[in-house]
A and B are shown apart, each in its own frame.
Chain A
């Protein structure tokens, strides 16, 4: 018997759902406000939480992570009466198990509950995702934990996988991690970069050709599909695959057999397909530039990688990981990262995602030369300008601390609020002071009119340093 918590301010509906859950021989508990729900979830023994989006004392979507972090790590099923597709997307991206409309029948609403409980049962029975041998996929955030879990599931199956995500989010690394943790790990991981192949080239590259198959085919060539036999074929930027090739590739996926250009006989290849794209394939299918049947076939399992902005809490770990890699590459001693650099990184939107971070760090390490610590002034000019502008625009706006000592009425306790606001303001001042003074002690003291000992004391409190 599982324990299910329903958080909804519509008491009648909440009780109706709870009755249905009890009929399924599970324990059901109701909470009619977000705060009450959070307290009950934190008690630590719920398996699944039904969570309404619009609650009188807050937005359910904003609290998914908090609920998930309860000791029992319950699965969260989001409920809304709005039928809002953006909300659905946000719910899934926030780590919800599923999303249901309150207008649906009660039986339909309990379907995801059955699946969630089956999944938890499997995990309890030892089906816990194995520890992955990761290939540069880094992060401890909730979003990345979800990715690891999906990658792990994908690695244990042989289904086609579609990896989505903005450019630079690490789609190839995720694909490689799946391959290296799968039963095909000892065989080839073959990359096909669809974006760099022309329409005329892609066919012969994929299927191969015999000598004389076309003008310029001076010798026989084995195609990449065949080279992936027993292993994994990674189709990067599959959205760029010409429509003319999509049909023949779909047939290969269905039959695992194909005929090289100019050949008279078909050959087979037992490959596993992982495809990646930064494009909206549904939209392309709707426009008729991507085959719907191929899309269904390649999307047996879908993993969406978050943009770096969506898991910015991982920036420190990512920075450390890439810095170590870069220093190893340049055969230099690993450099330190200044806290101010991390602050700058946290405020930057990273349109190029992790690839941009790695590239930025590489340039910063080069700019740092013999200095042992990488600091903001080693960053490219555009990034420093962005950080400065963001800093100035925020200077007068001390944000309301959201969590500290929050009471059920939604307002924080005065002392906690004041303490947190002061600390944030102090830290902002110090960062600005260090930047303005060029990290020069004498100038910093002159500007701030702080005594040397007081200055060091405050720096230490905020874990900031000056170069020795």
Chain B
């Protein structure tokens, strides 16, 4: 279990490749050259979250459909102490309620243009918000 000292952002997106790439590009533009660990499966995401790191990384999760959010909720114990930015599939009250159980530091939805996510992420990474 070696300690990884470089990863500052863990990014999970298991669904739509198009949306996943779109958000990734926007994040990279906002925080380059910060290293982003990309996870495309729940298994690799869980593995990454269990990996000890020098500084607690920021976690960005993009859920394109509700089932994906349900799967993410299974990893709740691994996510609760993290600085989490959560992108939800829609703004239905039920979806929002489920999202808030993860106590994210910022919530957005798929309907947005992700600029808000980029702004918050940049601030978290570069302004040393809460270790």
Query: Is the CB of A330 closer than 8 A to any CB of chain B?
Result: yes
Tell me whether B131 and A352 are in contact (CB under 8 A).
yes
Interface residue range, chain B: 20 to 34
Tell me whether B129 and A222 are in contact (CB under 8 A).
no
> Which of A201, A359, A367 lies in contact with B56, CB distance below 8 A?
A359
Tell me whether B81 and A221 are in contact (CB under 8 A).
no
Within 8 A of B (CB), among A157-203: 167-168, 172, 176, 188-191, 193, 195-198, 201
> Which of B1, B50, B104, B111 lies in contact with A218, CB distance below 8 A?
B111
1/0 contact string of B104-131 vs chain A (CB within 8 Å): 1111010111011001100110010111
Given A167-B130, A330-B1, A369-B1, A196-B78 contact (CB < 8 Å): no
1/0 contact string of B83-120 vs chain A (CB within 8 Å): 10000000100001100100111110101110110011
Residues of B near A188 (CB, < 8 A) are 96-97, 100
Interface centre among A188, A189, A237, A355 (most CB of B within 10 A): A188
Instruction: Report the minimal beta-carbon distance from B51 to chain A, rounded to whole angstroms.
Output: 9
Chain A residue nearest to B109 (CB atoms) is A221
Instruction: Report the minimal beta-carbon distance from A226 to chain B, rounded to whole angstroms.
Output: 10
Question: Count the A-B residue pairs with Cβ separation under 8 angstroms: how many?
Answer: 84
Query: Is the CB of A358 closer than 8 A to any CB of chain B?
Result: yes
Tell me whether A355 and B131 are in contact (CB under 8 A).
yes
Interface residues of B, dominant DSSP: loop
Tell me whether B120 and A329 are in contact (CB under 8 A).
no
Tell me whether B113 and A216 are in contact (CB under 8 A).
yes
Given A195-B129, A366-B3, A189-B113 contact (CB < 8 Å): no
CA distance in complex: A237, B129 (Å)? 10
CA distance in complex: A366, B1 (Å)? 6
> Which of A201, A355, A363 lies in contact with B52, CB distance below 8 A?
A363
Chain A residue nearest to B124 (CB atoms) is A196
Given A188-B96, A221-B112, A369-B1, A198-B123 contact (CB < 8 Å): yes
Query: Is the CB of A344 closer than 8 A to any CB of chain B?
Result: no
Query: Is the CB of A307 closer than 8 A to any CB of chain B?
Result: no
Query: Is the CB of A362 closer than 8 A to any CB of chain B?
Result: yes
Given A193-B105, A201-B119, A219-B111 contact (CB < 8 Å): yes
CA distance in complex: A330, B100 (Å)? 24
Query: Is the CB of B77 closer than 8 A to any CB of chain A?
Result: yes
CA distance in complex: A193, B123 (Å)? 11
Instruction: Report the minimal beta-carbon distance from B62 to chain A, rounded to whole angstroms.
Output: 16
Tell me whether B106 and A196 are in contact (CB under 8 A).
yes
Residues of A near B56 (CB, < 8 A) are 359
Within 8 A of B (CB), among A234-280: 237
Residues of B near A190 (CB, < 8 A) are 100
Chain A residue nearest to B103 (CB atoms) is A191
Tell me whether A191 and B105 are in contact (CB under 8 A).
yes
Tell me whether B131 and A196 are in contact (CB under 8 A).
no
Tell me whether B77 and A329 are in contact (CB under 8 A).
yes
CA distance in complex: A190, B113 (Å)? 22
Instruction: Report the minimal beta-carbon distance from B84 to chain A, rounded to whole angstroms.
Output: 9
CA distance in complex: A191, B113 (Å)? 22
Given A172-B103, A227-B100, A362-B52, A329-B116 contact (CB < 8 Å): no
Tell me whether B77 and A328 are in contact (CB under 8 A).
yes
Within 8 A of B (CB), among A349-396: 352, 355, 358-359, 362-363, 365-367, 369
Chain B residue nearest to A195 (CB atoms) is B129
Tell me whether B91 and A197 are in contact (CB under 8 A).
no
> Which of B1, B81, B120 lies in contact with A197, CB distance below 8 A?
B120
Within 8 A of A (CB), among B1-32: 1-3
Residues of A near B78 (CB, < 8 A) are 329
> Which of B77, B81, B123 lies in contact with A196, CB distance below 8 A?
B123
Could you tell me which B residues sit within 8 Å of A by CB distance? Answer: 1-3, 50, 52, 54, 56, 77-78, 81, 83, 91, 96-97, 100, 103-107, 109, 111-113, 115-116, 119-120, 123-124, 127, 129-131
Apart from the given pairs A218-B111, A218-B113, A329-B77, 9 other A-B contacts in the complex at a CB distance below 8 Å: A188-B100, A189-B100, A195-B127, A205-B116, A219-B111, A227-B96, A237-B130, A330-B1, A355-B131
A–B complex contacts, Cβ < 8 Å, 21 sampled: A172-B103, A191-B104, A191-B105, A195-B123, A195-B127, A196-B83, A196-B124, A198-B119, A216-B113, A218-B112, A218-B113, A219-B112, A222-B91, A227-B96, A227-B100, A237-B130, A329-B50, A355-B131, A359-B131, A363-B52, A366-B2
8 cross-chain pairs, A with B, having the tightest CB-CB distances, nearest first: A366-B52, A193-B105, A219-B111, A366-B1, A188-B100, A195-B129, A196-B129, A196-B124
